[in-house]
Amino acid sequence: MKDAFVLGRLLAYSLTTLDNVSAGLRAYQDVRLPAAQSVARNSKDLGRMYQFDAPGYYDGTDRGNERKELEILQERIISHIESYGEGSAIAEWQQVESNLRGSLRNDCKNDVL
């Protein structure tokens, strides 16, 4: 949803033109790609945790301390889920907008030189 929101705002933005859309898409990628990669990593980790196949966490082996291992696993799963809400789409749009403005300023300076 954040990708769609930020990309839609970028493409509808008054400073985005056919001539500078590539700069806008770079600004978008600089902000959204790390966030998307983080979600992908978290999803993979969570899937392994839910299947009890995550290295370093409870794996179903009887070692006498399953309760403690499950509590640690529960805390880690909650931490992963809570991290999905970090950073609002508005804040990310503002960062993309700022990056685009900076890129356009730099392009104007280079054109003058």
CA distances from 20 to 7, 8, 50, 55 (A): 14, 16, 44, 46
Rounded Cα gap, residues 67 and 65, in angstroms: 6
Cα 23 to chain centroid distance, Å, stands at 20
- Tens of pLDDT along the chain (113 residues)? 888 999 999 999 999 999 999 999 999 999 999 888 888 888 887 887 777 776 666 666 666 677 777 787 778 777 767 666 566 888 889 999 999 999 988 877 666 43
- Contact predicate 32/2, CB 8 Å: yes
Crossing angle of helices 2-12/21-50, nearest 10°?
180
Q: What is the pLDDT of residue 112?
A: 44
Q: What is the pLDDT of residue 5?
A: 92
Q: Is the pTM of this model over 0.85?
A: no
